[in-house]
Structure 1
Amino acid sequence: MPISRALLTAPLVLTLLALGTASLPSEPHLPPASSYLPRLVVEGRAPAAAFLARRDTPGQAARYRSTGPGIGVADRFRAGSVTKTFVATVVLQLAEEGVLRLEDSVEDHLPGLVRGHGNDGSALTLRALLTHTSGLYDYTAALPAADPVLSGAAGPSAQPLTPAAAVRAAVSRPPVTAPGSYAYSNTNYVLLGLVVQRATGRPYATEIRRRILSPLRLTGTSLPGARAPLPLPHSRAYHRSPTDGALRDVTSAGPWFSGAAGELVSTLGDLDRFYGALLGGRLLPPARLATLLDTGASGGVYGMGIYPQELSCGATVWGHNGHITGSYVRTAATRDGRHVLTFRVNTGTPPGADLEAELLEAEFCPRVRSEVP
């Protein structure tokens, strides 16, 4: 996957809770994605997991499933790098309006910010930031605390990392690749957040609210900045320390370092609606949507804030994942946006790529029968 992937110790009694229809009545042979939820809990080392799938077919309700204690369909959770799809959408809207151009250089909008140690903002375009082909070092790899949860850096009193400080941390290191080569870097989207603010005079979060959240009525989605509390309702979030293996409750840990690269808080339903609307053409005109989905610059790996995944049945789904302290989420949708699935676990430990692919195939490959161990 193009995203870097960074339990309770008592035994869990895994119970499947079914709300909504049990399966799509027109496809009774479809392997239910819910069959994979217990494995998400075990292999993701999470106390609980949930998914919500919707399809724009008359008479067919959205399907929700969960397993494990204390997780609900309306829960707010931290969505991590799913934020990037929202940011990319706003940038392309601004390009459509002529406020900026994708071939503008970073230097055009943020003079002097990307400079030194082999970094040159005048040689990097906004297109390169959007497609992760800038070569910029990922600032999250330069953070001083190896385990911010244990050090207390992610707690309620944490001092947020400003976007400028994040960029300075990145450009204090040489580029990881030459411009034009794909290398996923959170620095790219922190810079895009700053570009949006410079181009519009308003913070990127304000632009996301007015351009996406309000029109689509995504009332469970917010961009809280570095504020720690999750809005209600929410389930608990957990983190297993890499230093001593201990489990920590990190529900109150805010996105102190994430910014435009990963601060979004959302719900299963809101993410389903957003990706359905985006791919369905409600947020971008056809030519700009095609640009968003063009993976040519990255060698087929990544578009602009979104990436494809080809399944074994030949279907390709589009979406993004989010990996942040206490939360892992994945949304995938068909190209027309009419069939969307979002699932999450309430730790930052992602399930394996094979399991994730199996779950997506159970949902999007009706002719493929998968045996659930």
Structure 2
Amino acid sequence: MTGRKMLQKTMIASVVCLGLAACGSSSNSTEPTLPSPQPAPNVDYQEMLEVAVNSGVPGVIMAIESPEINFTGAAGVADIDTQAPMQTYHQMPTGSSGKKATALLVAMLHEEGMLDMDDLISTWLPTTILSRIENSESMTLRQLLNHTTGVWDYLDDGSSDEWFEAIIDDPTSVKTDIFALQFALDQPAYFAPGEAFYYSNTGYLLAGLILDEVLGEHHHTAMRERLFIGLGMNNTYYNGLEKDKGSIISGYAEFDDEIENTKFIYENIGVADAPLVSTVEDMSLLLRAIVSENSPLDSAITEHLLASDRLVQVNSETQYGLGIFYQNINGKDVYHHGGGDPGYITENYYVADSDLTLTVFFNCSGYEDCQAPAANFMNSVLETIFEDN
């Protein structure tokens, strides 16, 4: 098997998340001044980061913030070849954890009357697309965002091979929603809209195209003005389309018994199901803005994403809003959404009872030397959160 085909297969296998449910800026030329770490009593988070690196993870960044904890730390390297050390301000593609940004932008426009989430998607999308999506005549924008349309996921078996082959064959051109959507067209539906939950990245591609239609331009401009600038996410940008705002760190996956850098592929993908390049602090800021009691956002907006009467059942333990999972763990309300791209893993949590955000970046995925220590690290950190805070 050729190296390119091996990388394609490895990329498919490495789209994973370590979290509790499936996942799936301004210029970086100046280094921000960060607060000194203040770990929780009797917990050495920096040592835990070092253990993860010593166990096989190339690099890891973590931020934990609550009334009792203020810790930001990093360990390992941002690039294996240059041995550049991982820094807390480094930016990384955050995969599906960025879905909350797409959903939030839609909710904002809904409240402004620019669109209605409960309208059928045929309100905005052309028949050239609708005619190639089963049940498109009866699915709404809200259902796209809460994964209840039954629309085929372009990253599922049966189409993911073609998607990964396409982006590997042409890594330098920017891939947007309409490019990714072609791999979901003419595929069967999982079920009729509203009948069940099935996590489908395609729903967010369609939502991105709807945003473009409503705004009259690509939605990354509105996302920057309303979210990144509006919320103070100064080190976040839309992947692929705002590369002048920063640069992603290297990410590593294994193929043909070799560790390879996937940065050259993922720096040019700009899709609404995984839109953000960000820092751990900015991702914590975004999640906190949506779910905390002290949110700067209007409650009418955030309720679309997480109000209890709008959550849909994923399984016996998990519910989903718009771009956010909800679980009650050890009696604590937990909101989260991770992200996994080949070479990158993001974990992003908010524990309401202790007003705590946790965000972790790993610059690897999909092979045992990364996956096992990353999972062990997350388990250890989550234990400190649920047992000690």
Which bracket does the TM-score occupy, shorter chain normalised?
0.7 to 0.9
Q: Name the amino acid aligned to 1:252.
A: F
Shift of 1:169: 2.3
Q: Relative to structure 2, which stretch is displaced further, 351-360 or 121-130?
A: 351-360
Cα distance in 2, alignment partners of residues 290 and 227 from structure 1? 29
Indicate if the aligned counterparts of 2:144 and 2:207 stay in contact, CA closer than 8 A. Answer: yes
Shift of 1:160: 3.8
Is 1:170 the counterpart of 2:181? The answer is no
Which residue, 60, 66, 72 being the options, matches 1:64?
Answer: 72
- Look up the SS of the partner of 1:248 in the other structure: strand
Q: Name the amino acid aligned to 1:335.
A: A
Which residue, 361, 364, 373 being the options, matches 2:383?
Answer: 361
**CA offset digits 1:288-344 (Å, max 9, x no partner):** 323311463334431101112433x32122121111132111111133894211111
In structure 1, the partner of 2:258 is: 246
Indicate if the aligned counterparts of 2:339 and 2:346 stay in contact, CA closer than 8 A. Answer: yes
Is 1:220 the counterpart of 2:242? The answer is no
- Look up the SS of the partner of 2:337 in the other structure: strand
In structure 2, the partner of 1:346 is: 363
In structure 1, the partner of 2:321 is: 303
In structure 2, the partner of 1:9 is: none
Q: How does 1:200-219 map to 2 (within 5 A)?
A: 200-219=215-234
Q: How does 1:1-373 map to 2 (within 5 A)?
A: 1-4=20-23, 20-24=36-40, 28=41, 31-34=43-46, 36-37=48-49, 40-41=52-53, 46-55=57-66, 57=67, 62-69=70-77, 70-116=85-131, 119-141=134-156, 142-145=159-162, 148=165, 152-153=168-169, 155=171, 157=172, 159-180=173-194, 181-225=196-240, 231-232=246-247, 235-241=249-255, 244-257=256-269, 259-280=271-292, 282=295, 284-293=297-306, 294=308, 296-299=311-314, 300-311=318-329, 313-335=330-352, 338-349=355-366, 351=371, 356-366=378-388
Indicate if the aligned counterparts of 1:133 and 1:298 stay in contact, CA closer than 8 A. Answer: no
TM-score (norm 1): 0.80
Change (3 A) 1:324 1:139: same
Change (3 A) 1:146 1:106: closer
Quote the sequence identity (%).
24
Shift of 1:175: 0.8
Shift of 1:202: 2.9
Indicate if the aligned counterparts of 2:62 and 2:74 stay in contact, CA closer than 8 A. Answer: yes
**CA offset digits 1:42-100 (Å, max 9, x no partner):** 77x52121201112x3xx67312223232110101111112211010011111111111
**CA offset digits 1:87-132 (Å, max 9, x no partner):** 1001111111111112111111113154346613220011111101
Indicate if the aligned counterparts of 2:152 and 2:202 stay in contact, CA closer than 8 A. Answer: yes
- Look up the SS of the partner of 2:191 in the other structure: coil
Cα distance in 2, alignment partners of residues 230 and 214 from structure 1? 13
Cα distance in 2, alignment partners of residues 145 and 256 from structure 1? 17
Shift of 1:170: 1.0
Cα distance in 1, alignment partners of residues 216 and 331 from structure 2? 44
Superposed CA RMSD in Å reads 3.1
Change (3 A) 1:258 1:222: closer
Cα distance in 2, alignment partners of residues 61 and 297 from structure 1? 32
Indicate if the aligned counterparts of 1:136 and 1:171 stay in contact, CA closer than 8 A. Answer: no
Q: Name the amino acid aligned to 2:365.
A: G
Change (3 A) 1:316 1:354: farther
Q: Can you give the 5+ residue segments of structure 2 that lack an aligned partner in the other structure?
A: 1-19, 25-34, 78-84
Change (3 A) 1:364 1:213: farther
**CA offset digits 1:153-183 (Å, max 9, x no partner):** 363x2x4444234323213110123322111
Change (3 A) 1:306 1:108: same
**CA offset digits 1:185-219 (Å, max 9, x no partner):** 11111111111111122321111101111122212
Cα distance in 1, alignment partners of residues 231 and 104 from structure 2? 13
Q: Name the amino acid aligned to 1:236.
A: S
Greater fraction of residues in helix: 2
Q: Name the amino acid aligned to 1:275.
A: L
Indicate if the aligned counterparts of 1:2 and 1:301 stay in contact, CA closer than 8 A. Answer: no
Shift of 1:147: 5.8
Q: Name the amino acid aligned to 2:22.
A: I
